[in-house]
Amino acid sequence: MVETILKHDDPAVVLEHMVHIVGETLALDRALIYDVSLRDDQAVGLCEWLNPAIEVSATKATYPLSLFRAAAETVLRTRAPHVSHESAPSPELVKDGADRLLHGDMAIKSLYWHPFAFRDDGLYLLAFNQVQDERRFDAMEVAFVERVASYVSLALQKIHLIDERRRAEQAVLDTQKLESVGLLAGGIAHDFNNLLVGVVGAADVALASLDAESPTRPIVERILHSGRLAADLAAQLLVYAGRAPSRIERIDVAALAGEMIALLRVSMWKEVELLLDAVDPGERTLFRQIGRAEPETEQTREQRLADGSSGVMKRANTSPRSSAQPLAVADARHASSSFGRRR
């Protein structure tokens, strides 16, 4: 038994070895180990040993604790073995009516329940079933069971501590991975931002040298705008990496959608037309990126709770038009799809 405890860190292996040792040493008819869970209100059969010298059926299964409520509560309270015989069933089993199931239907002449490895939500139960004749266990046999149960309890505690250590080590590794990702993102964002300085600066110089009517001017303006968007993305990566302070701002959804349409048109078929139906600037939905842009009043707090989100704020909409308008997509076959419509 000690060798098994030292060699294995799998509870199933340790418990299986325990039930075999006890069953063979005491020449039992049947021995089982149950995991008694108070949270799940059931006893789950984990392993079973059957005496190969006699004909005995397997009974390992999952049983609701309601079948043995009084007996289970007594074992939990006293932390002592529970014994019952066909000729003298225990009062707790009689109270639950479980004596008819165990001593009658299952034909158990004598049963012995030994609790061990107590925990907050339950315990393990070593159960002996004698099906041929009634049997009273003497003091030496009981002491032997107690000694084995104490060894197994220590083994289970050791396994639990090993699992806790593994989980703690994995948590540290996960934290280190996140830190590495943050450092990598910060380094890439910093280098990318340096490259964008040259791109945006050159676009600024080129734009300043062009006439207002120059056909090249819209192209350069688009380059400059895209470069600034890329710079904003790099700034967000720096914030994620903890190398820059976060910035609080409001986002105009209609303006953002208008910018996206220009990018979408480049990658869509010529037969597809994108239409943006936006409301007046004073009625647009505004999003606050992080934190609060202004002190929150009782009125805005009630409105935010009514909206169901701490990150969305809507201005009062007195217009019959909705504050969230759809992006309509229509093709040559007159099919259309819209998103975000609210009435």
C-alpha closest to that of 44 among 29, 53, 33: 33
pLDDT band at residue 105 under the 50/70/90 scheme: very high
Integer Cα distance of 188 and 184 in angstroms: 6
Query: Which is it for the CA torsion 260, 266, 267, 270, positive or negative?
Result: positive
Do 314 and 295 lie in a common domain? yes
In a domain, 150, yes or no: no
Give first-to-last CA distance, the chain, whole Å: 73
Judgement on whether residues 327 and 219 belong to the same structural domain of the protein: no
Domain-embedded: residue 23: yes
Q: Is residue 269 scored above 60 in pLDDT?
A: yes
pLDDT band for 1, please (50, 70, 90 cuts).
low
Q: Mean per-residue pLDDT for 257-286?
A: 65
| Claim to verify: residue 124 and residue 7 sit in the same structural domain | yes
Q: Mean of the pLDDT values across residues 279-308?
A: 45
Print the SS3 string covering 165-197: HHHHHHHHHHHHHHHHHHHHHHHHHHHHHHHHH
Average pLDDT over residues 306-323: 39
d(CA 113, CA 127): 5
The widest CA-to-CA distance across the chain, in whole angstroms, is 110
Q: What is the pLDDT of residue 132?
A: 92
Q: Going by C-beta distance under 8 Å and a sequence separation of 6 or more, which residues neighbour residue 151?
A: 1, 2, 5
Q: Are 99 and 31 contained in the same domain?
A: yes
Bridge partners (DSSP) of residue 64 are 42
- What is the pLDDT, as a whole number, of residue 212? 84
Same domain, 258 and 334: yes
pLDDT of 180: 83
State which of 222, 247, 272 marks the end of a domain: 247
Residues 120 and 21 in one domain: yes
C-alpha Rg value of the chain to the nearest Å: 37
Q: What is the pLDDT of residue 261?
A: 72
Alpha helices in the chain (DSSP H): 2-7, 11-26, 69-78, 91-96, 98-99, 139-208, 217-240, 253-266, 298-307
* Cα dist from 267 to 216, 227, 271, whole Å: 21, 19, 12
Amino acid at 209: S
- Decide: 35 and 43 in contact? Cβ < 8 Å: yes
pLDDT at 210 over 80: yes
Mean pLDDT check: name the lowest of 45-54, 141-150, 201-210, 316-325: 316-325
- Give the torsion through C-alpha atoms of 287, 290, 295, 301, to 10 deg: 60
- Band of residue 113 on the pLDDT scale cut at 50, 70, 90: very high
The gap from C-alpha 35 to its chain's centroid, in whole angstroms, comes to 24
- pLDDT band per the 50, 70, 90 thresholds, residue 250: confident
The mean per-residue pLDDT over the stretch 175-202 comes to 83
59: containing domain: 2-137
pLDDT of residue 257 exceeding 60, the answer is yes
The identity of residue 231, as a single letter, is A
- 159 lies in a domain? no
How many domains is the chain partitioned into structurally?
3
Question: Does 328 have pLDDT greater than 70?
Answer: no
Q: Which of 197, 222, 247 is the last residue of a domain?
A: 247
CATH of the domain at 82: 3.30.450.40
> Could you tell me if 130 and 182 lie in one domain?
no
Q: Which of 195, 222, 247 is where one domain is finished?
A: 247
Angstrom distance (rounded) from CA 118 to CA 133: 31
pLDDT-derived band at 156 (thresholds 50, 70, 90) equals confident
Task: Tell me the mean pLDDT in the region 227-236.
Answer: 82
Tell me the pLDDT band of 340, cut-offs 50, 70 and 90.
very low
pLDDT of residue 14: 85
Question: What is the distance between the alpha carbons of residues 52 and 55, in angstroms, rounded to a whole number?
Answer: 7
Q: Is pLDDT at 78 greater than 70 in this prediction?
A: yes
Q: What is the mean pLDDT of residues 43-66?
A: 93
Is there a single domain that holds both residue 205 and residue 117?
no
Do 181 and 89 belong to one domain?
no
Residues in the chain: 343
Quick count: other Cβ atoms within 10 Å of Cβ 146?
13
Query: Rounded to an integer, what distance in angstroms lies between the CA atom of residue 193 and that of residue 202?
Result: 14
Q: Which residues of 10-31 are buried (b: 16+ CB within 10 A; e: fewer)?
A: ebebbbbbbbbbbbeeeebbbb
144, part of any domain: no
The pLDDT value given to residue 262: 67
Do residues 242 and 277 share a domain? Answer: no
Q: Closest by alpha carbon to 124, among 28, 14, 1?
A: 14
Residues 6+ apart with CB under 8 A from 190: 234, 238, 243
- Percentage of residues in the chain with pLDDT exceeding 90? 34
Residue 206 forms part of a structural domain: yes
More confident residue, 176 or 332: 176
Q: 82: buried, middle or exposed (CB in 10 Å: 19+, 13-18, 0-12)?
A: buried
Task: Report the alpha-carbon distance of residue 83 to residue 2 in Å, rounded.
Answer: 28
